[in-house]
């Protein structure tokens, strides 16, 4: 995995379209890149490292990379390290077939042994390379290209988004099982990619593929068929956002741009969903959803922190709720009944672990609901209900605006469920309406960049919180480690004295989230005193309601608001902390090492 782009159209444009598409997909994270372009024969070039290494090699190539079809790929290593040989596309021994692939071929070892026994010589360590060799074998048996590809696919176990080019055939073939693929329908030209930004500058008309669908793209158009070969009718949708929305708009990094977009993304999430005059929440997508007997959240990474927050929020409203790592739930799902609700939080709508967990819940009879940012994504087509985050495109690998929109989304859900769908919570509605302006105030006045300068030489960072602040402390630590590459840990503040306190020294900055003035806040202040007594520098992120600032070396302030929403504001300060530390360390902020934006393998 990670980024796929394919093109059928003007032979003189193919290479530029592929390289432009791969550039637009760089945000997903990758460690090598390659292209295959051709017509009667295929020309392949691939390189480990950044895209500019591939572009430099192409500029020195002694053949013209022109042709009516082409495929490109940015790889995030799974089988084999990032080398030229392991980069995609992969070909058969004659170079007749070129394949790019996202996913994992789980039975590749058995297939490789079989092919090697037939005399095939492999040139890489990847699982993907078995695919072009399987296709080539079927071609040698006399099958036409489409049938040969279909036959090869039947041998694959695991997950795949495949795009295949065959020399002498002015067409591309693609197939999907689990990882996403989307078609772009242009004027006399056609695209296939793992994500819409790959071709958004060329067309906004898209077709989302479902599992076990097969595509042929040629100059005559596009067709989608099922495993039985029968044509599948697909809707063409128009993406609502423009290509320029995926640019940096003058910001140094996508992440910083997206942090500053949060007032707008929150307004979009709330638009039409809160009636301040009536003091009620109105979420049309939840019509028909009653109050469940219990709720199970499933999610990974940043989304799991939103799930922890959401489960606590529902429990506070009297609804039994738990949060589960999706990859754990998928292998050992909790018991459910037809009266229970399984909620998947996935920013991309394509997270493999979360999709599998939701399928487990649905298979046991539970209703399912998704909170996601991507219209048309797999999760939206499989769940019974969907709440769209409306955050707009997020290209930084480290999630920011989608997380705050998730926190708002679960508040909308909780308000809807609190009284059987009426959602009458005047105080919450008023606080929600004020959130965008309060986030803007933080962005305009944050002292995070100045505070973090003092800790540039520190190697370990702790993040503490209780109650609703605890998931935000975890998220603050995750964001910090993702983009700074420094060691950071988040803890429930009360756990500090049960072990982690042994690690606290004068060189361990501690970030404590303290909002409100309830029992949780007061006890967190007690934990702050514990680390202060060990000479640890303390940064308190607080609304000032409690007296936490008295015990802090530095204070990052947030506006006072409803206690359920204050952690969201604290999170914005922690986003800025992570960003400014990473910028000071000159890290690759938008493309952190080893990480991908959308994790589409389990």
pLDDT confidence band for 228 (50 / 70 / 90): confident
What per-residue confidence (pLDDT) applies to 3? 87
Give me the residue label for tokens 């070969």: 229
Q: What is the mean pLDDT of residues 479-494?
A: 92
> Please, which residues have CB within 8 angstroms of residue 331's CB and are 6 or more apart in sequence?
none
Give dist(CA 542, CA 515) in Å, integer: 5
Phi, psi of 374 (to 5 degrees): -115, 110
- Catalytic residue, candidates 257, 557, 591, 597: 597
Give me the residue label for tokens 């909620």: 343
Looking at per-residue pLDDT, the higher value among 490 and 103 belongs to: 490
Which of 158, 160, 165 is CA-nearest to residue 139?
165
pLDDT confidence band for 197 (50 / 70 / 90): confident
Active-site residue 269, yes or no? no
Highest mean pLDDT among 28-32, 397-401, 569-573: 569-573
- Catalytic residue, candidates 2, 269, 300, 383: 2
Looking at per-residue pLDDT, the higher value among 318 and 278 belongs to: 318
What per-residue confidence (pLDDT) applies to 1? 54
- Residue 139 near residue 132, CB atoms below 8 Å: no
Q: What is the largest CA-CA distance in the chain?
A: 80
Active-site residue 2, yes or no? yes
Residue percentage of the chain with pLDDT more than 70? 96
pLDDT confidence band for 28 (50 / 70 / 90): low
**DSSP one-letter code for 409:** H
- Residue 159 near residue 104, CB atoms below 8 Å: yes
Window from 191-205, 449-463, 521-535, 580-594 with minimum mean pLDDT: 521-535
What per-residue confidence (pLDDT) applies to 243? 56
Between helix 469-484 and helix 566-584 the angle, nearest 10°, is 20
Long-range contacts of 218-223 (CB under 8 A, 24+ apart): 218/8, 218/170, 218/171, 218/172, 218/190, 219/8, 219/9, 219/68, 219/170, 219/188, 221/190, 222/183, 222/185, 222/190
Instruction: Output the average pLDDT for the chain.
Output: 90
Q: What is the mean pLDDT of residues 312-333?
A: 93
Domains observed in the chain: 2-244 (3.60.20.10), 249-434 (3.40.50.10490), 446-602 (3.40.50.10490)
Which of 255, 303, 340, 353 is CA-nearest to residue 589?
255
What per-residue confidence (pLDDT) applies to 559? 95
Q: Dihedral sign, CA of 428, 431, 436, 441?
A: negative
- Residue 428 near residue 415, CB atoms below 8 Å: yes
Report how far Cα 527 is from the mean position of its chain's Cα atoms: 34
Which of 398, 397, 376 is CA-nearest to residue 25?
397
With b meaning 16 or more CB within 10 Å and e meaning fewer, what string describes 313-346? bbeebebebbbbbbbebbeebbebeeebbbbbbb
- Bridge partners (DSSP) listed for residue 369: 343, 385
Does residue 278 have a pLDDT over 90?
A: no
Render pLDDT for 514-564 as a digit per residue (tens, 0 to 9): 998 888 888 888 888 887 878 789 999 999 888 888 888 899 999 999 999
Angstrom CA distances, 538 to 268, 493, 532, 568, stand at: 35, 13, 7, 20
Give me the residue label for tokens 């640019």: 247
Does residue 326 have a pLDDT over 90?
A: yes
Window from 272-286, 362-376, 395-409 with minimum mean pLDDT: 272-286
Does residue 330 have a pLDDT over 80?
A: yes
Total-model pTM = 0.73
What per-residue confidence (pLDDT) applies to 500? 81
DSSP 69-119: EEEEEEE--SSS-S-TTTSSPEE-TTS-EEEEEEEEETTHHHHHHHHHHTT
Around Cβ 434, how many Cβ atoms within 10 Å? 15
- Residue 507 near residue 531, CB atoms below 8 Å: no
Phi, psi of 507 (to 5 degrees): -105, 20
**DSSP one-letter code for 347:** S
């Amino acid at each position: 995995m990670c980024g796929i782009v394919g093109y059928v159209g003007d032979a003189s444009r193919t290479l530029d379209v592929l390289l432009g598409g791969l550039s637009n997909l760089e945000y997903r994270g990758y460690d090598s890149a390659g292209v295959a372009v051709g017509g009667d024969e295929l020309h392949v070039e691939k390189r480990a490292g950044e895209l500019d290494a591939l572009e430099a090699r192409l500029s020195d190539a002694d053949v013209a990379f022109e042709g009516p079809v082409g495929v490109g790929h940015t790889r995030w290593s799974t089988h084999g390290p990032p080398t030229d040989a392991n980069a995609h596309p992969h070909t058969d021994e004659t170079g007749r077939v070129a394949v790019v692939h996202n996913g994992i071929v789980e039975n590749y070892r058995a297939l490789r042994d079989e092919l090697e026994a037939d005399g095939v010589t492999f040139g890489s360590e990847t699982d993907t390379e078995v695919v072009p060799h399987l296709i080539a074998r079927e071609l040698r048996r006399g099958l036409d290209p489409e049938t040969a590809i279909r036959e090869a696919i039947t041998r694959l176990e695991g997950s795949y988004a495949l795009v295949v080019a065959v020399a002498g055939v002015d067409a591309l073939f693609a197939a999907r099982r689990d990882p996403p693929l989307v078609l772009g329908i242009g004027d006399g030209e056609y695209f296939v990619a793992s994500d819409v930004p790959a071709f958004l500058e060329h067309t906004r008309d898209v077709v989302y593929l479902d599992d076990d669908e097969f595509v042929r793209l040629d100059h005559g158009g596009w067709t989608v068929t099922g495993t039985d070969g029968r044509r599948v009718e697909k809707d063409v949708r128009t993406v609502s956002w423009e290509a320029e929305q995926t640019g940096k708009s003058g910001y140094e990094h996508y992440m910083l741009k997206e942090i500053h977009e949060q007032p707008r993304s929150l307004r979009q999430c709330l638009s039409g969903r809160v009636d301040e005059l009536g003091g009620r929440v109105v979420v049309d997508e939840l019509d028909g959803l009653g109050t469940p007997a219990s709720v199970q959240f499933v999610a990974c990474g940043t989304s799991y922190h939103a799930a922890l927050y959401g489960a606590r929020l529902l429990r506070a409203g009297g609804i039994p709720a738990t949060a589960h790592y999706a990859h754990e739930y998928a292998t050992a799902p909790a018991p459910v009944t037809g009266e229970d609700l399984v909620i998947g939080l996935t920013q991309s709508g394509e997270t493999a672990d979360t999709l599998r967990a939701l399928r487990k819940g649905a298979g046991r009879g539970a209703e399912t609901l998704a909170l996601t940012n991507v219209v048309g994504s797999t999760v939206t087509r499989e769940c019974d209900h969907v709440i769209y985050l409306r955050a707009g495109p997020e290209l930084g690998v480290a999630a920011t605006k989608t997380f705050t929109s998730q926190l708002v989304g679960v508040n909308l859900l909780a308000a809807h469920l609190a009284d059987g769908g009426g959602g009458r919570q005047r105080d919450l509605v008023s606080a929600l309406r004020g959130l965008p302006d309060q986030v803007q105030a933080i962005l305009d006045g944050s002292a995070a960049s100045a505070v973090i300068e003092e800790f540039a030489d520190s190697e370990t960072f702790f993040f503490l919180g209780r109650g609703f602040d605890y998931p935000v402390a975890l998220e603050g630590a995750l964001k910090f480690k993702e983009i700074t590459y420094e060691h950071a840990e988040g803890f429930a503040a009360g756990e500090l004295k049960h072990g982690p306190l042994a690690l606290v020294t004068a060189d361990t900055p501690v970030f404590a989230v303290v909002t409100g003035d309830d029992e949780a806040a007061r006890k967190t202040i007690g934990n702050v005193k514990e680390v202060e007594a060990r000479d640890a520098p303390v940064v308190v992120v607080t609304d000032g309601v409690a007296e936490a600032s008295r015990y802090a070396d530095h204070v990052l302030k947030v506006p006072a608001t409803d206690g359920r929403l204050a952690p969201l504001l604290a999170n914005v300060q922690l986003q800025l902390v992570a960003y400014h530390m990473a910028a000071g360390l000159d890290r690759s902020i938008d493309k952190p090492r080893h990480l991908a934006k959308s994790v589409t393998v389990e």
